[in-house]
Chain A
């Protein structure tokens, strides 16, 4: 198949894109702003959650009952229990509590696991509670068996760097993946309606049919440019996600930076993810774009197509979580989480990329037929 026509159409389509800088700018700016806004929101949502569950571990039941009866009113989200520190750590790791105050003969320690912590309010209250505990336990003749206590000035984070990173990815990858998917799909929808459906709406389609250049080659040239544009918009969003991380999650960013330095394969994983999404999205919107003669109708069906793809991508999550790794279209969480744990498995990724390439190929063949057929 001669590539001359395809290259020629691609050059012309790219020239057209450059002639509408506002559209090009919007295509890149919208994902950037959306992802940055999401990162900012996530940062504050995490900080501002005011409902939590915390436990105070006291040395004996009698003290637990007495302290509990006194402080329960002031700290409604705390329970006052007895038990070994290991139990507190286990509950923290399992995410059953946000933080724990462990009182022993010499100290009141605030423990938490930043990889499961959902509220920073819990830590603030825990600090207040620790001061009250010291006062109550050591205060004037409050108890005969007085302790020699002091509160630890800094809460102790039980999570490891790897757990923190996995938690960050757990929280952000799904959301950022979904936002990027929606932004890329929305750009693909607009661009396909303009470049493919638009040819018929602007009545420029006939002049293409009249050319001896085969219509499939003209369409392929248009679809390849569409693919590049969609990929660029996704890349812009991804850069914004990294920038958001650097601004609002500096600790996690430092970890990612050093881990990515050690594991350059991370870049390849991200590239494969973006490419997979780009292929699927371009394929689907090429079909919708070529099936209609009016951009309005194409947009209407594109919205339905977007919902369908989202559902198709998320549905396996409820069937088999392992399966989701093979469908990284709108849900990147499983793969990114594995990446955080340095357990990169390229097989599901490459399988997904291969499947996406086949889907895109089938879509392109179908779209050629539809584009020609609607010309009558």
Chain B
């Protein structure tokens, strides 16, 4: 019994479906394993030992542990690193720097650039060290919220694997020894107007960088600037051009949309403005104000995304079928000449019809959002549909593209490769891009790169591209440099540095300036110069300070732009005859998507992001070929089976993972893995999906083959066992059910059971009684809270093997459950942190008083007192306690020490830990209140998870204050506690999720 082997069984999916039908009701499950568990497959399934990696040899485990602990166990020292404020004056958000009080954090507004748009942030700084990212409430893209990537960017800053020195032909050298040869090359280029000079950047929306590039191109008129960023959305760009004849950007007003249709768009967790969209969207998804304002959300998706989990109705289709769906939908509105709905299945067609009717009923207050990997045509059609529905300037509006030079990135890259191939490129500057890794396979970028005689890479890491370039220049992190960036709606933020560059990195502005003969020019001067002219005249300095303070340059948001739809896309009075369905290409479809954690791989060396369970699959540390139940059934595949994917002569080996609700005959591959030069954390994890990605089908490719290898690969997921086993954990109702029975959350109460019965007397609270509410209606499962908690509370990274052994350390996790059939399940999320029970089972069993009840109701851990019996964890019904089985926190690496929150103890081996309700933040507020001789006000204490949450799903406060938000929400009919039948009386409670399904579709 003790030599378990990792074995995934095959499912009989027909039986699974029968089971679901038979069981009826809210039969919640979260993976096929569990669904199968309701019948004889349970035996099968329960025979697996998923946590225990086969023959977990400790020797290997230890080595792998050391390796994968990555950031947490890297030995790179940073001995000579001094913490310096940047020389120029930076302006704190709240107080001037001269007011630095030891132990008091300061907040500075800045913005994080990603994929050509900025997210406004407030960065917490302790004695000159940025430690924690918060959203900037006055920035339109944030409104106070953040995402997991922004939260984790602070770890990237301190990553000991960042490049620390100029490298010339693989050897460490100096900036000055680079400048010599570079100047020679530039002088050569100058002679021929820069005919051989090429610059490759990522997506650029920084006005300053745009200006500098423009200047450079003026200096070298024959030089060319190319852009390639996997996060850039080519088809949205082309679709906009097709529809309106100009490269527009679209901004959505989700607050105003009563009906939203997503066409494979993950607009809530990826892409420009997603944090803001989350906030707007969630405000229409929560029923805490009675449920009248609920929007209705339809999602057509190939792979279930966090966004799709919010849908009232979710249709799972392969991408090629979604394309048909879009055309069929457009045709319903008399647009284009798409295939008849008959090209879809009968049921799907009726679904489409019902959606169309619903959209039609909500003309002007509905919204259709196309996904970034759909074709340009699909984008154009969806613009046309929005246009036909009169949604423009109501639920969405067009603005001029925020990019400095909007273009088709793949074409731009292809042009560059063509020129490299023709040996026309003599000097190539690569700024912040990693095309050797990210370029589609058919371009053979790295092969042609070798033909470039002088190639300079500027970036944070000595990555794959740096490895093939003659020179590598270390870049400064955005938290170390001056810059500016535009948000999704055009608003400009000044990026101000929180700390002088740790590794003498240069910002791209400084780098470009040096190449233009302005050596030594500081980023501050360059950025300041851009804004001297633009900010209004005399009060320039005050406006500049204002912009730095606020984190936004006021009045820079792009005004809505009037757009004119191309005539071909206009609604025609008479419906044209639909085209017959086009013949389908045989074989599987491969869909390429950005990874939810590491995006295109640029965050691969970030331990926090690697260990972040991916939404739905909860896989950590790698990617998998995601397939649907039907595909798995047809091919007899089980989780972890290694398969070979073949497409047009290229092949790739990948482990499969079955995702219920995934489209048929479709395989989703996430980019960002299989990195070879990411750093010690990110190297060699997962597989590189770019190997199958081609430039003419970057989003979805057809005609792929899947061959089984009969080998296995152990994928690690934080949650293998998912059935709710008919337990009332996540409670849901439809709007109608809620209206009919407002007390539905308490239906599962055991009659006659006194949940407050206890042998021990209760605690009295005459002061504060802290409490938390989590709104399950608003939670999307985006993971921002998980990373925020990790950053705030110095939660260590443990590595893949340790997660496989069941030892992840997250204080806050997002449980997800599935409901319904495995082909089209509903997904539910439930963030679970310490529930701070009134009658805490952990407190009574600790033999040494290491976990005790505070006078304000907190269940507190006394690390110094803990001897590590782990009895508390055993006795915790919520299993939120985390144990330091090893010395997980890195006590050696200097750079990582800088990033820690000084207000939170770094835990040692052998100690139990768990969510503290951010007690350090409570105490900070208490000190402030006491100094001012008042009580702590409602909303003054904001926990890290609450502050990061873009949807306001988490509310924290004093329950004794009857006027507090938390007290009011706990009085809501939707409020319920988890496992209250055990008598634990948790202080954290949940608001049930209320959905707003369309009765027409329910009837299908």
Our verdict on whether A and B bind, yes or no, reads no
Measured CB to CB, the residues of A under 8 A from B are none
